[in-house]
Amino acid sequence: MADQSILQLDIHDHHVVMDNGILAVTLSKPYGNVTGIKYSSIDNVLEVRDKEAHRGYWDLVWNSGTPGTTGTFDEMRGKEFEVVVQNEEQIELSFKRNYSFKDKEVPLNIDKRFIMLRNSSGFYSYAIYEHLREWPPFNLPQTRIVFKLRKDKFHYMAIADNRKRSMPLPDDRVGGRGKTLDFPEAVLLVHPREAAFKGEVDDKYQYSCENKDLKVHGWISMDPSDDPPVGFWQITPSSEFRSGGPLKQNLTSHVGPYALAMFLSAHYGGEELVLKLNADEPWKKVFGPVFFYLNSVPNGRDPLCLWEDAKIQMTKEVQSWPYSFPASQNFPPPNQRGRLTGNLYVLDTYVNQEQMPAAEAYVGLAAPGDAGSWQTETKGYQFWTKTDAYGSFSIENVRIGDYNLYAWVPGFIGDYRYDVVISVSAGSDMDVGDLVFEPPRNGPTLWEIGIPDRSAAEFYIPDPNPNYINKLYVHHPDRFRQYGLWERYAELYPDTDLVYTVGVSDYTKDWFFAHVNRTRNDGSHLPTTWQIKFTLDNNIDKSGIYKLRVALATANVAELQIRVNNPEVEPALFTTGQIGHDNAIARHGIHGLYRLYSVDMSRSVLVEGENTIFLSQIINTSSFNGVMYDYIRLEGPPSDVSTRS
């Protein structure tokens, strides 16, 4: 390897090597696939038993506009190679593929970039995608960077302080060692090579993570033959180029030691999160840069020190964002960006007559649209922050462009949108002043179930079937990540469905986290109807409108029908129609897309004394049809305090 004070670039007929004396990265030429990474005592940290093209690569999935989240897999191999920057401080390489009508490729110009800096224990990658107006329309369900690490060395994965563990091997899933469960990604380890994994479920979806928390994750090689132990980490200092906002969930790994940098995916959202480019629609976007960091620790020290060091490096990368070194003019440096500040308040006079600071609220800039549209926005950039205890916020390093300002406040239902398009220019520093969010409200709260936080995590999450356990999530805050929890409903309610009595029941114990079908012994599925029983006193308003607020944390090929006091009446008082392809039930996600419904209830459907609301999920084609509730509230008619819809 080169001297640590010298950056060296070696160009050969079919490959190119960047070497800074700390690590050496080999890329195929002109494809731009990473075929080798030499670091410390390991000649190649990538899976040497795979073909060179399948070790480290960008990829995408696209189709010509057909519905769904599948399509043609494309490893985005470059056709032109160029040295963009080569000096004492930096090497930047370009691997480009321009679209041609003659090719049967995705109609994009793609420019993949790789950067190595002097004295840096890692390398960066980003890409520019461009679609010209005259090119064909197409859909883009997914794009990402994949690194396949050596299966004989990298066996320990870390995502968070409480989400790290030794992992089973890919070989444990095949050849009679594993048994496929209800979907191919989930495998019960029957005869694994390491006895400690026997009886566990291996499922990549158990390691998904929300964008807001997905800043560093990776793998550690603790192979005794390695001196010292080595870590490989994927660091994402900003989520501005990711779709779906801060709560969008993405994969972190695959089967075995994969490191994934996910930029766009339909996971936990379905087709609503597929990027769809229309005819006559120009589009350009920069994905990244992201940083791939390698570290080591002398033998004798705890290898988990590598995780602690990776978190420190992540903080340094976040503080350095936006980077000043990428050479593409499509990536704006700090002085070509803007800043937005302000204060957000909540006004709900049924809670407080005065405006309240919107503490710990999520505030963001995204493409102009309806309130809440940021959830499914895929084409532009998003910039998010959280308010402080006083509701103050500052959104830094915003790209030039037009945005709406969006927000949502934990503890309150609904979405906020500032109804003025905000134009950010280079160097701008804007203060929008005091903004007031008035969450949906009709009248006083008569009763409520849950916490309005866009998650079903506060409800009853059962212990897993002891035959299908991931040991990581035993006694873990994310206990919902265990496999097969949806099947526990039929065990807990074998003959009758859930009945919740307001004022008596406890939603942490008596409200099952997912409204799913009941699976019968023959494998068929019965739709289920849950009941909420409550009492209205003798002062029931005979002329006003009561309003039921139903906030869903997720829906998957479901139809929720609502009836009051008569479970057989047709038509139902309210139906959502068929909604959702979030698949969060099967993928242990506890939430997908947020949906809020408001149902009017007149005096004609309510009675003095005991009332019952019937919640029926009527689609029963699989175990995974269903919804998760975020929060349910019944409001009385407007009082003298306030009147809002």
User: What is the predicted pLDDT for the residue at 643?
Assistant: 44
By CB neighbour count within 10 A (0-12 exposed, 13-18 middle, 19+ buried), where does 571 fall?
A: exposed
Residues 6+ apart with CB under 8 A from 135: 99, 107
Two structure tokens written together for 220: 């550690």
Q: Give residue 641's pLDDT.
A: 55
pLDDT at residue 425 in the model: 97
| Cα→Cα distances 252→82, 159, 219, 454, Å | 31, 8, 11, 22
Residue 261, number of CB atoms within 10 A of its CB: 24
| Whether pLDDT at 282 is above 90 | yes
d(C-alpha 258, C-alpha 260), whole Å: 6
Q: Which of 122, 73, 390, 395 is nearest to 239 (CA)?
A: 395
Examine domains 334-437 and 445-635 and report if their fold is the same. no
Looking at 6-84, list the stretches that DSSP marks H as alpha helix, in order from N- to C-terminal side: none
Q: Tens digit of pLDDT for each residue in 29-64?
A: 999 999 999 999 899 999 999 999 999 999 999 999
What proportion of the chain, given as a percentage, has pLDDT over 90? 90
Is the separation of the CB atoms in 631 and 455 below 8 Å? no
In angstroms, the Cα distances linking 457 to 170, 184, 330, 591 are 30, 26, 40, 8
- In this model, does residue 226 exceed pLDDT 90? no
Dihedral in degrees, nearest 10, Cα atoms 365, 366, 370, 376: -130
Peptide bond into 462 cis (omega under 30): no
Element (H, E) at 26: strand 23-28
Tokens of 588: 């242990």
Q: What is the mean pLDDT of residues 468-488?
A: 96
Residue 4 has pLDDT above 90, yes or no: no
d(CA 254, CA 266): 16
Reply yes or no on domain 8-153+213-320 having CATH 1.20.1250.20.
Answer: no
Q: Are 366 and 373 in contact (CB under 8 A)?
A: yes
Query: Computed over its alpha carbons, how large is the radius of gyration of the chain?
Result: 26
CA 481, distance to chain mean position in Å, is: 14
Spatial distance between the Cα atoms of 460 and 450, rounded to a whole number of angstroms: 10
- 40 exposed, middle or buried (CB, 10 Å; 0-12, 13-18, 19+)? buried
pTM for the structure as a whole: 0.95
pLDDT in tens, 122-158: 999 999 999 999 999 999 999 999 999 999 999 999 9
pLDDT tens digits, 481-529: 999 999 999 999 999 999 999 999 999 999 999 999 998 888 899 999 9
Domain extents in the chain: 8-153+213-320, 334-437, 445-635
Q: Provide the pLDDT for residue 542.
A: 67
pLDDT in tens, 584-606: 999 999 999 999 999 999 888 99
Q: Which CATH number fits domain 334-437: 3.40.50.720, 3.40.50.150, 2.60.40.1120, 2.40.40.20?
A: 2.60.40.1120
405-437 per-position pLDDT tens digit: 999 999 999 999 999 999 999 999 999 999 999
Angle, CA 248 vertex, CA 312 and CA 514 arms, to 5° = 120
**pLDDT tens string 185-212:** 999 999 998 899 999 999 999 999 999 9
Q: Where residue 217 falls among pLDDT bands split at 50, 70, 90? A: very high
One-letter amino acid at 526 equals: L
What is the mean predicted confidence (pLDDT) over 540-549? Answer: 84
User: Taking residues 373-396, what's their average pLDDT?
Assistant: 98
Q: What's the whole-number mean pLDDT along residues 384-394?
A: 98
Mean pLDDT of the residues in the chain: 95
**d(C-alpha 522, C-alpha 180), whole Å:** 19
Q: Give the CATH number of domain 445-635.
A: 2.60.120.260
pLDDT tops 80 at residue 223: no
What local confidence, expressed as pLDDT, does residue 645 receive? 46
* pLDDT reported for residue 287: 98
